Amino acid sequence: MTLADRRAPRPGVEWEFDQVRFDRDLSRNVVRKLLVERAEHGGWELHRLRITADGVRRVTLRRKIIRAVRTA
């Protein structure tokens, strides 16, 4: 159901992506609640939402990867 990968769109910024697929029988409110929960508890933000001709919602979420820098 999910596929996470890492991409660097510009130097110094790294994003982690997660792709989620929702079937057409889920209502808009249910999908919204699920996405809000992921955003609040996982730190994800909406990157892309595509609704296909058969009604399936393909959602791409992203969150910034924060790397800890070691100090001397």
CA–CA distance, 55 with 14 (Å, rounded to integer): 31
Whether residue 39 is contained in a domain is answered as yes
Instruction: Enumerate residues 6+ apart whose C-beta is below 8 A from 23.
Output: 56
- 1-42 per-position pLDDT tens digit: 444 555 545 667 789 999 999 999 999 999 999 999 999 999
Q: What is the pTM of this model?
A: 0.75
Residue 70 inside a domain? The answer is no
Q: Is residue 71 part of a domain?
A: no
CA distance 18 to 3: 5
Compute CA 62 distance to the chain's CA centroid, rounded to the nearest angstrom: 4
The total of structural domains in the chain comes to: 1
Residue 14 included in any domain: yes
Is residue 52 a part of any domain in this protein? yes
Residue type, position 3, single letter: L
Domain containing residue 41: 4-64
Task: Give residue 60's Cα distance to chain centre.
Answer: 4
Could you identify the residue written with the tokens 């955003």? 39
**pLDDT above 70: residue 67:** yes
* 28 occurs within a structural domain: yes
Residue 69 lies in a domain: no
